């Protein structure tokens, strides 16, 4: 059952104010995942403070890095259940995890930063992992 | 932020717990009580039946995520062994 919208709105806002586009419906997910070229970051946002409480500030820090994905999206697990499931369905080899970051390159999963790589770490450490992923997969290629 | 009661430093953390039986439990640590350790969204490695050896099983979880077989499970107190964070797990 989804959480009450009023409860999770501040957590959505914390991400969308970074310029990350929120995908709330299956149709929106299909529109951007169906035939995607280039690099995209998908942040699976969630309520749990154990990990998401660090993931969102980490995302804010990482988005200041010079090298970034072409586009950034977010879905909210526990909020937009169908959209989240649809986004995950594109990468069915990977187990559902929230929060998590999915870095996609030309429609393929380039790197996933799972919940277990977020929880127990501070925002700087998680941001460092994100930035390393950006540098590895989003840089200019010769 | 979800409010969590004080359930200890591992609450909400993805852990690998070695069972006395030889099974290994991997998932989110919920809480420890006198009856055992409650875990959420976990998989269980049983060397007698699992497709992969333990190191491979954990390695795959690190890359692809934890294979969830149980939404919640109480690992009995007499089964609880060593418990470490998944991020820190290393084969013995």
Does some domain include residue B58? Answer: yes
Q: pLDDT tens digits, residue range A89-134?
A: 998 889 988 899 999 999 899 999 999 999 888 999 999 999 999 9
Domains of chain A: total = 1
Does some domain include residue A106? Answer: yes
Range of the domain at B43: 14-88
Q: pLDDT tens digits, residue range B30-47?
A: 999 999 999 999 999 999
CATH assignment at residue B29: 2.30.30.100
Give the nearest chain A residue to B9 (CA atoms).
A120
Up-side HSE of residue A59: CA atoms within 13 Å toward CB? 31
Does some domain include residue A142? Answer: no
Taking alpha carbons only, the member of A50, A41, A105 closest to residue A72 is A41
- How far, in Å, CA of A70 to CA of A44, rounded? 17
Does some domain include residue B1? Answer: no
Does some domain include residue B6? Answer: no
Does some domain include residue B2? Answer: no
Taking alpha carbons only, the member of B64, B28, B33 closest to residue B43 is B28
Q: pLDDT tens digits, residue range B50-81?
A: 999 999 999 999 999 999 999 999 999 999 99
- Find the DSSP H helices in A63-122: 81-89
Instruction: State the nearest Cα–Cα gap between B35 and chain A, in angstroms.
Output: 24
Write the DSSP symbol of residue A69: -
Does some domain include residue B56? Answer: yes
Cβ A95–B64 below 8 Å, yes or no? yes
> Is residue A142 pLDDT above 50, yes or no?
no
Does some domain include residue B53? Answer: yes
Looking at this predicted complex, what is its ipTM? 0.74
Whether residue A71 lies within 8 A of chain B, CB to CB, comes out as no
Domains of chain B: total = 1
- Per-residue tokens: A114: 């799972």
Contacting residues of A for B87, CB less than 8 Å apart: 116-117, 120
CATH assignment at residue A16: 3.40.30.10
Cβ B68–A95 below 8 Å, yes or no? yes
pLDDT band for A141, please (50, 70, 90 cuts). low
């Amino acid at each position: 059952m989804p959480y009450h919208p009023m409860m999770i709105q501040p957590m959505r806002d914390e991400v969308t104010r970074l310029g990350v586009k929120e995908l709330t419906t299956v149709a929106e997910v299909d529109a951007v995942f169906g035939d995607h070229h280039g690099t995209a970051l998908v942040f699976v946002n969630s309520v749990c403070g154990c990990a998401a409480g660090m993931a969102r500030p980490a995302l804010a820090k990482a988005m200041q890095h010079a090298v970034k994905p072409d586009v950034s999206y977010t879905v909210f697990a526990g909020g937009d259940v169908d959209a989240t499931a649809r986004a995950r369905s594109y990468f069915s080899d990977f187990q559902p995890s929230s929060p998590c970051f999915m870095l996609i390159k030309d429609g393929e999963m380039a790197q996933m930063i799972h919940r277990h790589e977020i929880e127990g770490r501070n925002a700087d450490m998680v941001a460092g992992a994100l930035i390393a992923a950006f540098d590895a997969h989003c840089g200019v290629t010769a | 932020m979800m409010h969590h009661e004080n359930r200890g430093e591992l609450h909400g953390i993805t852990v690998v717990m070695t069972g006395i039986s030889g099974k290994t439990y991997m998932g989110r640590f919920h809480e420890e009580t006198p009856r055992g350790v409650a875990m959420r969204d976990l998989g269980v490695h049983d060397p007698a039946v699992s497709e992969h050896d333990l190191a491979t099983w954990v390695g795959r979880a690190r890359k692809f995520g934890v294979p969830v077989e149980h939404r919640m499970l109480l690992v009995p107190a007499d089964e609880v062994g060593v418990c470490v964070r998944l991020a820190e797990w290393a084969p013995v």
